Chains A and B, each alone.
Chain A
Amino acid sequence: DTGVSQDPRHKITKRGQNVTFRCDPISEHNRLYWYRQTLGQGPEFLTYFQNEAQLEKSRLLSDRFSAERPKGSFSTLEIQRTEQGDSAMYLCASSPPLVEGLTDTQYFGPGTRLTVL
């Protein structure tokens, strides 16, 4: 069973450019999450998908950020007009369908490290 994969692993861009990250969840995991982690901090939730539906969005997800999961499989996170403050590790996680009475465990990918110059 392969884990969550993310691409690219590293991205360096100039301020004002647009960037897009991809996440491939564990197969048959219908739930997908994006988090952002800055240096010295724990991951912070950005958004959540159940299948193709985006069910939850954090206030951290400004209008420059957009996430999609068009076919309920892989997901993309796009940042428009990047700012230096966007520099962070962007983590994707997935979890299996919820079983009544249990809770799902989120399994994380290796992350995409974004550096905005």
Chain B
Amino acid sequence: AQSVAQPEDQVNVAEGNPLTVKCTYSVSGNPYLFWYVQYPNRGLQFLLKYITGDNLVKGSYGFEAEFNKSQTSFHLKKPSALVSDSALYFCAVRGLSGAGSYQLTFGKGTKLSVIP
């Protein structure tokens, strides 16, 4: 079975400071990893994904994520936070093959608050 852990329920960061939202995963074989953002009463918006290749993935709105196979982590980062980045962030994993390989398994989410 595949799983995702987001160890922080909430992350607070000052505007202009770098931000990191943590994610670790467990899956059989090589993973497909995703980050989504959710604004209040809205669906999920895709930010970025890792499939293979370069461990540093760049996505929308200046976000990037670093895949670390040995630590089974896929942390989301941004060099300079904006107040508009305040939202709920979800990490998700999808297995490469086998049962459940079509579904995304999500973490519980991390609420990011950027303080002006």
A contact residues vs B (CB 8 Å cutoff): 4, 6, 31, 33, 35, 40-45, 48, 55-56, 58, 91, 93, 102-103, 105-111, 113
Contact = CB atoms under 8 A, between A and B. Distances in A.
Contact of A4 (B43, B90, B100): B43
Contact of A108 (B32, B45, B51): B45
B22 to A, nearest CB: 15
Interface stretch (B65-73, B75-83, B101-109): B101-109
Nearest to A109: B43
Nearest to B4: A42
B40 to A, nearest CB: 11
Q: Which of A41, A48, A107, A108: most chain B Cβ within 10 A?
A: A108
A113 B109 CA distance: 18
Contact of B43 (A42, A45, A108): A108
Contact of B32 (A45, A58, A103, A111): A103
**When A and B form their complex, which 9 residue pairs have the shortest distance between CB atoms, in order from nearest?**
A42-B106, A45-B103, A108-B43, A108-B44, A110-B43, A48-B102, A103-B32, A111-B43, A43-B106
Contacts of A43: 44, 90, 104, 106
B43 A56 contact: no
Contact of B104 (A41, A45, A113): A45
Size range of the interface on B? Answer: 20 to 34
Interface of B: 4, 32, 34, 36, 41-46, 49, 51, 90, 92, 94, 99-100, 102-109
Given A35-B104, A48-B102, A56-B100, 7 more contacts: A42-B90, A42-B109, A43-B44, A43-B104, A44-B106, A93-B44, A103-B51
B49 A103 contact: yes
